[in-house]
A and B are shown apart, each in its own frame.
Chain A
Amino acid sequence: MTETITATRAEVCAVACAELFRGDGEIVAAAVAGFVPMLGSRLARATFEPDLLTTDGGPVLSAGPVPLGRSATEIEGWLPFRDHLWLVLNGRRHVIMGPSQIDAHGNTNISCIGDWDRPARQLLGARGGPGNTLLNPTSYWVPKHSARVFTEKVDFVSGVGTDRGAHDLRAVVSNLAVLDFETPDGRMRLRSVHPGVTVDEVVAATGFELAVPDEVPETRLPTAEELRIMRDVLDPKGLREREVPS
C-alpha cells in the first residue's frame, strides 16, 4: 500500500524552493524573499544539500538549519552586510529574491512602478538586484502569480534578465507553478504546475506569452520526511501558510 500524502500549497512551494538549491554544494543560500524560500533553503540543507550555508536571517551563519523565526544557537560563521556584498562579487552564493514585476526574459523590478523620474508608486529601490543577477545564480519567489507581476515590460530593470547579461537565472517559483528560462532565446518557460493547478490557469495569470511544452509535469509533492521536517522542526508555527494565498 502506498502512503497518501496531503501537502498544502505552501509546502509544495517550499519544496520547489528547496529544489532550486539542488546541486549547489558549499555556497551561501541567500533566501531573502520571504518565509517560503527561507524554509526551502533550510529544508534543502536538512535533506539533500547538507553542505549549504544558511543564516538565521541575521548576520550569522548558523551551524545547522534553524527553525523559521528563531536565532541561531550554534554559529559557524559571520556574514555582516559588508561581507555579504563582497560575497556577491566572489560568487559562492545563490539568491532568491522577490520581484514586484518580472518579464519574459527574467528582468525584474523592485524599484518603482511608473516613470522613474516621478514614479506612480515608489518601492524599495534597486537594493542588491543589479549585482545579484549579474554575478550570482539567482532565483525568484512570487507568492501571488498574476499578470501584474508577470508583465510584458518591467518599469525599471533592477535585476537583469537573460537578454541583459544575467549570470545564471535558475527558476521562478510561484504559488501556481515552477518556471525557468530553458528555451533557445532565454524566454520564460513553464516547467511544472503545482498539483491542483492547470496550465490554463498559469497562462491566464501571466501577462506575456509563456513557452509551454506539450507535456507539463506536476511539481513534485513533498516526501513524508520533508513534511515532517517542515511541520515539526523547521516551521512548527506554520509561517509558510501565511505567505501563500489559498
Chain B
Amino acid sequence: MSATGKVRTIDEIVGSLESGMTIGIGGWGSRRKPMALVRALCNSPVTDLTVISYGGPDVGLLCAAGKIRRLITAFVTLDSIPLEPHFRTARQTGAIEMTEYDEGMFLFGLYAAAHRLPFLPTPVGLGSDVLRVNPGLKTIRSPYGDEEVVAVPPLAMDVAFVHMNRADARGNAQYLGPDPYMDDLFAKAAERTYVTCERLVDTADLAKEGPLQSLLISRSHVAGVVETPNGAHFTDCVPDHGRDEGFQRLYAQSAGDPERWAAFRDRFLAGDEAAYQDAVRVWREEDR
C-alpha cells in the first residue's frame, strides 16, 4: 500500500479555510513567502483572520484585502524597502489589531506551540514597551533563583502556509536556500500545514536535490502540498529565484496611492495564480 497522496490545488486549500481562523505564514520579511496561497486567500471570502508572521508583503496584501483582524508579529518589512505601505496604512487607520513581540520572543512562541509547552521563559521583553502593549504577557520567577522572566505563550495556529523549494507528493519538504527561517516550527505549531513548492519531485530524488539537512519538514506535519512555480514571487526564493526588486518597487509605489493600487490590483491580483504569473511575465516584457 502506498502512502497517502497529499497533492492538492490552491483552490482546495483555500476552500478548506474558515473565517476567524488563526493562520501562520512562514518565510521572513520579503523572503520565501507562500505568496501564491496568500494571493488566493486575498481573493477568497475568508476574513476576520488572526495572522502570525515575521511579516512582509504577505501581511501587506492581506491588510489591503481587509482579511486581518489581528496581526501577531515582531516586524513587517519588505527588506530592501524597509517599511511595508499597506501594513502602515492598516495600523494608521486602526484597521487591524496587533500583538507586537520581539523577534526572539516570537521564536519562543513558535517553539512552545511546536512542542505543546504552556510557555517558554526568556528575559527578553523586560524593560521594553512590548510588555506595556501586551498586558496579557505574564512574568514568572525562576524556581531555581530570583530571576524574573517573561513566560511567552505558545503561538498556536489552525493552519500554516509555507513555501519550499522542493517537496514530494507525500508532503516531505525541502529548502535549498541559505536559511530555513522558522518554517518547520510553523509546520509543527499548526493543526494543518500546507506546503507550496517550486517543484514537486519523486521522493527518491529529494536526496539528490540537496543534503539530508535540507529536508526541513516531515510529511507527518503536512496536510497538503501543491506545486506553484514562482509561487513565492515577488519575494526571495533562492536558489530558484531571487527577489523581484523591480516588481516589489512597483508594488510598494502602487500601494502608496489608491488609484495606482486599484490599477495594480486589477492588473495582477484579480485572477488566479496562473493569471498572476502571466501578468507578471507581460509586465516584465514591457519593463525591458
Contact = CB atoms under 8 A, between A and B. Distances in A.
A124 B55 CA distance: 10
B53 to A, nearest CB: 11
Contacts of B181: 80-82
B102 A130 contact: yes
Given A89-B104, A124-B77, A165 B126 contact: yes
Interface stretch (B88-96, B200-208, B224-232): B88-96
Given A111-B100, A126-B100, A81 B179 contact: yes
Contact of A88 (B100, B101, B104, B125): B104
Nearest to B102: A130
B129 interface: yes
Interface in A105-132: 111-112, 116-131
A58 to B, nearest CB: 6
Interface in B112-147: 122-130, 132-133
A20 interface: no
Interface stretch (B17-25, B68-76, B258-266): B68-76
B124 A134 contact: yes
A66 to B, nearest CB: 14
Interface residues of B, number: 37
A164 B128 contact: yes
A99 to B, nearest CB: 13
B13 to A, nearest CB: 26
Interface in A128-171: 128-131, 133-135, 156-160, 164-166
B103 interface: yes
A75 to B, nearest CB: 10
Contact of B130 (A81, A89, A126): A126
Contacts of A205: none
B180 to A, nearest CB: 6
Given A121-B88, A127-B103, A158 B128 contact: yes
A70 to B, nearest CB: 15
A60 interface: yes
A59 interface: yes
B124 A60 contact: no
A165 B124 CA distance: 11
A182 B75 CA distance: 32
Contact of A125 (B28, B75, B92, B104): B75
Max chain A C-beta neighbours (<10 A), residue from B82, B103, B129, B180: B129
Interface string B20-36: 00000000100000000
The 9 closest A-B pairs by CB, nearest first: A125-B75, A130-B128, A164-B127, A131-B124, A160-B127, A122-B91, A130-B102, A165-B127, A122-B88
Interface of A: 58-60, 78, 80-82, 85-86, 88-89, 111-112, 116-131, 133-135, 156-160, 164-166
Interface of B: 28, 55, 73-77, 82-83, 87-88, 91-92, 94, 100-105, 107, 122-130, 132-133, 178-182
9 contacts: A119-B92, A121-B92, A127-B74, A127-B102, A128-B102, A130-B105, A158-B129, A160-B127, A164-B127
